[in-house]
Amino acid sequence: MPARFFDAATLERETPRLANPSDLVFRETGCHGVAEGAALAAVGAEGHLALAKRRSARATCAIGLSPRIVDPSVVGRSRGKLAILGLGPGADDSRTPEVDAALREATDWVGYRLYLDLLQPLASGKVQHPFDLGAEEARVSHALDLAAAGRDVALVSSGDAGIYAMATLVFELIERGGHADWARVEILGLPGVSAMQVAAARVGAPLGHDFCAISLSDLLTPWPVIERRLRAAADGDFVVALYNPVSQRRRSQFAAARDILRTARPAETPVVLGRNLGRSGESLRITTLAQLDPADVDMLTVVLIGASATRAVSRPDGGHWVYTPRGYASKTEGAV
């Protein structure tokens, strides 16, 4: 049996027919009875209350009786659902089938305009809500509003929605409060492959041992916090994946990050620059920490900086594989 929901104003219109109207309930919810009101709203004017409300520790129920069969699809609305989806790098064959299924099931798609454009082959019948770059709070608020109104909403991010993308803002906005209906939305998160993983798979296995991910964007994070993380990454000898290495107004952070890591690991440490990975115009470059130049990166680049153990191995085609060994055993045992 599908669960259906009513807003407080609809329930309040049933007040004259309630068996147990309550001012306390009204002050908390905006209607004088939730269970009885919902039962009456579901059966409509021709129906009546068959069982007045009963309470248990965790729920209250009431039963309405209708002279006709009730069609649940036109009674009230569904709970509303928000699927937070990671599209992976961008190509159709790098999205998981569970993400595709959630896209097909959704009534509404919310996301950055260019990501929705990538999905047009699946878009038939969808209400699309494209947003411009940067309007993240408006985007997520709109998605929550739609879901709270009973829509089945897909909020899309490229890569993994949980890594430097939209997912965390959903929970941040819910916690800020002021929208009790947002907290009641059913939320489903489905992961996707993030840019650092694509860069790593293309080039070998640079993330083959302990690594960290650091965003160089100081839009929401003060530079001293970012700098502290970079120093810790250097101290810990982590492989470092840098997201948002530069922006149009911001380039100095990248040079500072490079300089911090240069103090702690060899000049010839391999560095991987992946740009537009998984989309047309993809490029991948291998360089070294010594030769790394901020001019080599842009907003669409993910940067992987090796740990001290990370190695570049010649390929017969003249290129290199980059990998970080699983441990330190091969160093002490030599070439076995």
**Is 177 buried (19+), middle (13-18) or exposed (0-12) by CB count in 10 A?**
exposed
Q: Which of 16, 125, 281, 316 binds a second copy (CB under 8 A)?
A: 316
The C-alpha atoms of residue 221 and residue 230 are separated, in whole angstroms, by 13
**Is 70 buried (19+), middle (13-18) or exposed (0-12) by CB count in 10 A?**
middle
Task: Decide: is 285 part of the binding site for a second copy (CB under 8 A).
Answer: no
Cα maximum dimension of the chain: 86
The C-alpha atoms of residue 307 and residue 61 are separated, in whole angstroms, by 60
Are 299 and 246 in contact by the 8 Å Cβ rule? The answer is yes
User: Which one, of 180, 179, 153, lies nearest residue 78 by Cα?
Assistant: 153
**Hey, which residues between 215 and 254 contact a second copy (CB under 8 A)?**
215, 219-222, 225, 228-229, 231-233, 235-238
Q: Residue 93 Cβ, how far from a second copy at the closest point, in Å?
A: 4
**Hey, which residues between 124 and 163 contact a second copy (CB under 8 A)?**
160-163
Task: Decide: is 21 part of the binding site for a second copy (CB under 8 A).
Answer: no
Q: Which of 144, 147, 167, 261 binds a second copy (CB under 8 A)?
A: 167
Torsion angle, alpha carbons of 152, 157, 158, 164, to 10: -150
Q: Which is nearer to a second copy, 227 or 296 (CB)?
A: 227
Q: Looking at 8-16, 64-72, 113-121, 165-173, which segment touches a second copy (CB under 8 A)?
A: 165-173
Q: Which is nearer to a second copy, 117 or 186 (CB)?
A: 186
Dihedral-angle region of residue 68 (phi above 0 means left; psi in -120 to 50 means alpha; beta otherwise): beta
Task: Decide: is 34 part of the binding site for a second copy (CB under 8 A).
Answer: no
Q: Residue 186 Cβ, how far from a second copy at the closest point, in Å?
A: 10
Task: Decide: is 208 part of the binding site for a second copy (CB under 8 A).
Answer: yes
Task: Decide: is 189 part of the binding site for a second copy (CB under 8 A).
Answer: yes
Are 260 and 254 in contact by the 8 Å Cβ rule? The answer is no
Q: Residue 189 Cβ, how far from a second copy at the closest point, in Å?
A: 4
Q: Rg (Cα) of the chain, in Å, rounded?
A: 27
Task: Decide: is 5 part of the binding site for a second copy (CB under 8 A).
Answer: no
Q: Which of 27, 178, 281, 295 binds a second copy (CB under 8 A)?
A: 178
Q: How far is CA 97 from the centre of its chain?
A: 17
**Hey, which residues between 67 and 126 contact a second copy (CB under 8 A)?**
84, 86, 88, 91-98, 101
Q: Which is nearer to a second copy, 117 or 172 (CB)?
A: 172
Three-state SS for 103?
A: helix
Task: Decide: is 323 part of the binding site for a second copy (CB under 8 A).
Answer: yes
User: Which one, of 142, 147, 137, lies nearest residue 172 by Cα?
Assistant: 137
The C-alpha atoms of residue 194 and residue 34 are separated, in whole angstroms, by 44
The amino acid at residue 251 is R
Q: Residue 61 Cβ, how far from a second copy at the closest point, in Å?
A: 17
Q: Which of 63, 212, 260, 286 binds a second copy (CB under 8 A)?
A: 212
Task: Decide: is 210 part of the binding site for a second copy (CB under 8 A).
Answer: yes
The C-alpha atoms of residue 70 and residue 50 are separated, in whole angstroms, by 15
Q: Looking at 25-33, 35-43, 142-150, 308-316, which segment touches a second copy (CB under 8 A)?
A: 308-316
Task: Decide: is 183 part of the binding site for a second copy (CB under 8 A).
Answer: yes
Q: Residue 274 Cβ, how far from a second copy at the closest point, in Å?
A: 12
Q: Which is nearer to a second copy, 109 or 323 (CB)?
A: 323
Q: Which is nearer to a second copy, 31 or 43 (CB)?
A: 31
